[in-house]
Amino acid sequence: MFFVPQDGFTPKLCNYQELRDEHTVDKKLIIENFLPFFQLHAPMIEEQQQMILDSNFMITFVLLERAFQSQHGKYFVMASGCMIDTNDLMKFYRNPEELDDDKAMDAKTLLGPYWRRNNQILGKHLKEVKLDVDEFLLIVALIYWDFGG
């Protein structure tokens, strides 16, 4: 799941369409890899409780993983290494097939606060503490097994 740059890799800025496609792949990888690992180590959980843990985990994990990937730079980094320039959301939301920027402006207006809050709540703090992979995985496990108690 973690992006490790290979020799000759050139970072690329992505747009919302690429983000959507990548998120679809990431979701499948999480369901096929992370969730079975956690489920294997918590067989005492009832099925309904397991479904709640799984669904609550997905969004939190994706947000944390993206912030973890992004902690060393100024861009929001995806698992593939594609990057989002949150300072130029018009470019991110612009559809290259359309001449009109109204939809991109609407998306920026609506979702811009999400990107700012994500940076304030997660990104900024992860940059301060500089988690390594082991610490990140420990936090992931704690998030998964948060029963809300």
Could you please report the per-residue DSSP string of 83-132?
EE-TT-HHHHH--TT-S--HHHHHHHHHHHHHHHHHIIIIIHHHHHHT--
Q: Is pLDDT above 60 for 4?
A: no
Q: Do 61 and 139 meet the contact criterion of CB atoms below 8 Å apart?
A: no
* pTM score of the predicted model: 0.75
Q: Is pLDDT above 70 for 149?
A: no
Average pLDDT, the chain: 83
Q: Is pLDDT above 80 for 42?
A: no
Average pLDDT over residues 72-86: 84
